[in-house]
Amino acid sequence: MSESIVECVPNFSEGRDSAILKEIVDAIEASGGVNVLDVDEGYNTNRTVVTFIGSPKDVEAAAFQGVATAGQLIDMRKHHGEHPRIGATDVLPFIPVSKMTMEDCVGIAQRVGARIGEELGIPVYLYDQAASSLERRNLAAVRSGEYEGLDEKLKDPNWQPDYGPTSYNPMSGATCVGAREFLIAYNINLNNADRRYANDIAYALRERGRWKRTGNIEPFYYKGDVVYFGQNGEFPCGPCDFIATSFEELKNHYSEEHGGDLIARYDDLGIDPKNPVGPVFDDGHFTDVKAIGWVIDEYNRAQISINLTNYKVSSPHEVLEMAREEAGKRGVIITGSELIGLMPFEALREAGLYYRRRAMKSTGIPVGDLLETAIQSMGLRDVSPFEVEDKLIGLSAPEGPLVDLSVLDFVDEVSRETPAPGGGSVAALSGALGSALTSMVANLSVGKSEFDDKYEYLCDIACRAQEIKDLLVRGVDADTKAFDSVLAGMRMPQDSEGEINARKEAMEEGYKDATSVPLDTAEVCLRCMELADQMADVTSVSMMSDVGTGCLMAEAGLRSAIYNVRINLPNISDQNFKQDVEKRIKELLSKAATLRDSVSGKIEATFEI
Ligand SMILES: [Zn+2]
C-alpha cells in the first residue's frame, strides 16, 4: 500500500532568530527528498521544533545536514530559555511512520549519531528506544544538569557519550539522538464546560492514574475522600480494597492480582517504596497515555487532552471507547474528538476496522471508506475540520495519470495511435476489476443470515481482494512507466565503444524492468483467481455469475500480462534471468488453467441451462 516513511522531529535551541532558523530548515530541505511538515518556533522557550518526513535514506541525510547547520549557527554560550536543553540540536528523535520497525529507526539513530560525533565533534547520547543502557532511556535523565552542567557530566565515567568526543564543546553542547514511537495528540470533547468532569475521566484513563478515594466516589470519583499511606501502619492497594500490613505484602499482592511491578510504578510516581507517604494511587486503564482535563473557550467545552505515546499499545479508538464508558457512568456525553497535528494512516485504518467489526460489517471495503467510518465513529469533525489528506501521514492513494481518467477517457486513450497505454495496462485493469468483483461478492455475502458463521472467512477474502485490487490499480500506470527505461536506454549516445556498451547495459536493465512489472501483474492476478475459487465454494447461487466474471477477468489479466512478458523476453541476453522467467510463466499458466476449470465447474453446476 505505502512506501517506507520515517519522521524526524529535531528540537533546535533557537526560537527567536528567524534568519538562523531559516538557514537550518533550508539545509534540511536542500538535502532532498524530505517534506518539512511543520516548523514550530517558541519565543519563550527559545526553542524550535521542526517536523519532517521522507524515506529512511533521505531523512537520515537531511537530519545530519540540519544538525551540521545548527552546529555552525547556534552558540549555546548565549542561549537562555525556559525549556530544559543540553545542546544546539537538543534532541533528534526518529519515528517509524509506515513500513518501518523500531529497530530500523534505532539503526538510523546509531548511524546519524556516529556521524554527528565523528564529523561534527559533538558528543552524542542515544536515548529512548535507541539508548545503550536502561539508565539512558529516559530523556530527562540524559539531559539532567542541562548545558550548564555538561562539562562536569562528561567527566563522569557513567555519562561518557555514545559517540563523539568526551571533551566539552562549549559552542554546541551535546545532542540526544533517539528512536521513539509516534506521539498522537488527541482530545476528547465533553458536552459541558466543567474542567472537573474532564479531569475525573482523564485521571481514570491515564497511566499515572489518580489519588485513591473512598466514600462519595460515584458517579464522580473526585468527590470522595483521599486515602493516604501510613494511617495506622496500613498499606492500602490502589486498584482494589485490599490493605496490606507491610510494603512487601503489598508488592506481592500487586504483582499477583494486578500483574504489575509496584517498585517500578512507585518509581514513576515519585513514591519512596521504603517509606511511602502521601496519597495512595489508583491505576489508570491504559499505559502509554497521558491525560488531563481542560476547557477550551473557543469551543465552550471541556476536553480530555491526551498524549498517546505508543498508539500500537493504546490506540486512540480504544481510549475513546473507554472514555465513552466512563462518561456514561457520570451521565456525561462524549460528543466527539479532535486530532491535533497528524497521526499515522495505520492508526486511523485500525480504528475503521474496529468499528466495522464491532457492527458485524465487512472489513474488506475500500480504504477511503474505512477511514470515513473511523472519522464518523470517533466524531473527528465535531469541533474542527478533518480531511485525510491534511491529517494522515503514510497514506498513499493509488493515483496516476491513467487511473485518474474517467472510464470513457481511459478507453479512448487506449484506442489512440500511441503505443502506450497498451496491453500491459489493460491487463492490470482487467485483474483489478476481477478482484473488485470478488470483493463485492464477499461483501454482499457478509450480513446474509445464511453466512453469519462465515463472517471472519468472508472478511478475510474481501480484505485480500481489496489489497490485490489496489496493487493492480497501481499496475495500470506502472506498466506504462515500465517501458520508459527501455526508451531512455534507446536514446543514449553510441559514438564510442564505451557508450555502446553503456547503452546496451541500460537497455538490458530496461527490458528486465519491462518484463518484471507484467510478471508481477500475472502473479497478483493468480492470487485473485484463488480467491474467486474460494468464493465459489461459499457464496449463494444468485452471485455465481459475478464470481465467474471476476475469475475470467483475472485470468484475462494473467494471460495478457504474460504476453507482455514474452514479447520483451527475446531482447534480454541474461540466460539465467530468462530461464527463471520462463519457469515462472509455465507455473502460472498451469495453475491458472486448474483454477479456471475449478471455478467454472462450480458455476456450471449451479446453472440450469
Ligand atoms: Zn489490589
pLDDT tens digit string along 382-411? Answer: 999 999 998 998 887 778 899 999 999 999
Mean pLDDT of 131-136: 94
CATH for 301: 3.30.70.670
CATH for 41: 3.30.990.10
- pLDDT band at 582; cut points 50, 70, 90: very high
Query: Which residue in this structure is represented by grid cell 486448474?
Result: 594
Contacts of 485 (CB under 8 A, 6+ apart): 506, 509, 510, 513, 514
**Cα(321) to centroid(ligand 1), Å:** 24
Question: Does pLDDT of 42 surpass 70?
Answer: yes
Category of 55 on φ-ψ map: left (φ > 0), alpha (ψ -120 to 50) or beta:
beta
State the number of CA atoms in the 13 A half-sphere of 53 facing the CB. Answer: 20
**Cα(324) to centroid(ligand 1), Å:** 25
Mean pLDDT of 10-22: 96
In a domain, residue 188? The reply is: no
Residues 364, 226, single domain; the answer is no
Query: Which residue in this structure is represented by grid cell 559533538?
Result: 122
94: containing domain = 5-180
Mean pLDDT of 229-254: 91
Question: Does pLDDT of 232 surpass 80?
Answer: no
Mean pLDDT of 491-517: 93
Mean pLDDT (the chain, rounded): 95
For 25-34, 222-231, 459-468, which range has the lowest pLDDT when averaged over its residues? 222-231
Mean pLDDT of 89-115: 96
In a domain, residue 55? The reply is: yes
Residues 297, 278, single domain; the answer is no
Positions marked active-site: 83, 479
pLDDT digits (tens, 9 = 90+) for 301-339: 999 999 999 999 999 999 999 999 999 999 999 999 999
**Cα(285) to centroid(ligand 1), Å:** 14
Q: Last residue of some domain: 362, 393, 424?
A: 393
In a domain, residue 191? The reply is: no
* pLDDT for residue 399: 82
**Cα(262) to centroid(ligand 1), Å:** 11
Residues 150, 31, single domain; the answer is yes
* pLDDT for residue 441: 97
Question: Does pLDDT of 2 surpass 80?
Answer: no
**Cα(292) to centroid(ligand 1), Å:** 25
SS3 283: coil
The C-alpha atoms of residue 209 and residue 287 are separated, in whole angstroms, by: 10
In a domain, residue 589? The reply is: yes
Number of domains in the chain: 4
Q: Last residue of some domain: 336, 369, 393?
A: 393
Residues 140, 54, single domain; the answer is yes
In a domain, residue 399? The reply is: no
The C-alpha atoms of residue 377 and residue 356 are separated, in whole angstroms, by: 10
Residues 26, 85, single domain; the answer is yes
Question: Does pLDDT of 245 surpass 70?
Answer: yes
* pLDDT for residue 1: 41
CATH for 459: 1.20.120.680
In a domain, residue 525? The reply is: yes
**Cα(239) to centroid(ligand 1), Å:** 5
Category of 389 on φ-ψ map: left (φ > 0), alpha (ψ -120 to 50) or beta:
alpha
In a domain, residue 226? The reply is: yes
In a domain, residue 198? The reply is: no
Residues 272, 323, single domain; the answer is no
**Cα(604) to centroid(ligand 1), Å:** 65
Percent of the chain past pLDDT 70, that is, above it, reads 100
| DSSP tag of 191 | S
Question: Does pLDDT of 342 surpass 70?
Answer: yes
Q: Last residue of some domain: 221, 251, 282?
A: 282
